[in-house]
Structure 1
Amino acid sequence: MKHTEQEMIHLKEEVKRMWQLVLSQLEKARQAFLTHDSDVAREVISREKRVDVYELKIESDCENYIALYSPVAVDLRLTLSLMKICNTLERIGDFAAGIALHVLDDDCQGIPDSLVEKLEMEQMFDVLQGMLSDCYVALENENTKLTGRILSRDNEVNAIYHTAPKVLSEFMAEHPEHIYCGLKLLLLIRKLERIGDHCSNIVEEIVFYVDAKVLKHSKNQNG
């Protein structure tokens, strides 16, 4: 096996490990939020530094790979895609930590579970975890057939997000004592919506690597 191939295998393995960590962070953030588990929330926050370390290491290794081996065609596309994907995974990790911080916010412990149900936040979490997992499978198998399904699920996340202001405004009108927390909850839902956008960005990088196509503008035109 060529040295360049060994280095690429090492790069891909690093990205896989980072991906698994971010998936775990998102799952634990979901668990902490839905069960009000402060211990799990603290675990998410404490592991955020590991996500940051992965991003810096992978970015550095990708830059070194390009500088040392001057990859072209598919190898160059893969290296560039891995750099962008690890950056995107780090952003998702940041949002997971933000969700965990919300759980630890002592000022917002009185929000009823019924409101969370009405906002469909558990469904939102489920869709996002599925999107991130499917992105992982698509990259692992170098298969872009999943991309349409992943992008359509982002539309599902957006639909839930767009109904949230109306639901929250009605709730806060009836419960003015929860206005502060209601606004913070809207910011939290915005974080979830952004995770969906980031999963779509990962899809774009996978399609760029595998099919040598750019989805960005065509995706925007489709909404």
Structure 2
Amino acid sequence: MLRTQFEEELLNLHNQFYEMGMLVSNAIHKSVRAYVKHDKEIAHEVIENDEAINNMEIRLEKKSFEMIALQQPVTTDLRMIITVMKASSDLERMGDHAVSIAKSTIRVKGETRIAEIEKEISDMSDYVKKMVDNVLVAYVKTDQDDARMIAQMDERVNEYYRDIYYQTIESMKAN
């Protein structure tokens, strides 16, 4: 009986984590879309929805500690619970970055921007969203090979960042 209850709680924890991941993926996508389209309304929506992400992280962490304390899971189950605790913190931080982008949208709305840089930012956002979505699928499938492949994809994000950084510097020099 207790094992069945634990398995249900573990499944619920996984489902909540996946839901949080989808919220974060959406926040990232919307924040960049708001930035590129100069859309303050979408930016405000991202900022307002951040509280839901923050609350989910708190709930996931609390439930994880509760499950560890009361159920005393071992090996695979313990690793899964700890993964949720750590990864939910990372997701929350990603949500905070989406809020920072949304706030930047509000702050610089109407100012002249450089189309090439905005395109690069948009492309990077699409790539990151794809990565986050793939991570969530790999998590659900517990596919370590996919997880490793996704980790290697991070180098492309670094390339996007470097390209955007240098394009910005060159633009500042020209103007």
Shorter-chain TM-score tier: over 0.9
Q: Offset at 1:145?
A: 2.1
* Pairing 1:151–2:151 present: yes
Corresponding residue of 1:82: 84
Corresponding residue of 2:170: 170
Q: Offset at 1:108?
A: 6.7
Runs of 4+ residues deviating >3 angstroms: none
After superposition, give the CA deviation of every residue in 1:55-89 in whole Å (9 maximum; x if it has no partner): 00110000000000100010100010010011111
Distance, in Å, in 1 between the alignment partners of 2:109 and 2:18 is 37
Q: TM-score, normalised by structure 2?
A: 0.92
Distance, in Å, in 2 between the alignment partners of 1:165 and 1:92 is 20
* Cα pair distance change 1:65/1:111, threshold 3 Å: same
Distance, in Å, in 2 between the alignment partners of 1:87 and 1:115 is 30
Corresponding residue of 1:96: 98
Moved more, 71-80 or 28-37: 28-37
- Spell out the pairing of 1:2-81 with structure 2 (5 A cutoff): 2-81=4-83
Mapped contact 1:127–1:153 kept (Cα < 8 A): no
Mapped contact 1:44–1:96 kept (Cα < 8 A): yes
Q: Report the secondary structure of 1:110's partner residue.
A: coil
- Spell out the pairing of 1:168-207 with structure 2 (5 A cutoff): 168-175=168-175
Distance, in Å, in 1 between the alignment partners of 2:117 and 2:164 is 10
Corresponding residue of 2:113: 111
Corresponding residue of 1:193: none
| Aligned sequence identity (%) | 28
* Cα pair distance change 1:87/1:72, threshold 3 Å: same
Q: Offset at 1:107?
A: 7.0
* Pairing 1:139–2:147 present: no
After superposition, give the CA deviation of every residue in 1:100-137 in whole Å (9 maximum; x if it has no partner): 001000477222323423xx212211110011000000
* Cα pair distance change 1:114/1:163, threshold 3 Å: closer
Number of equivalences: 173
Distance, in Å, in 2 between the alignment partners of 1:126 and 1:137 is 17
Instruction: Report the residue type matching 1:30 in the other structure.
Output: V
Unaligned runs of 5+ in 1: 176-223
Q: RMSD value over aligned CA atoms?
A: 1.5
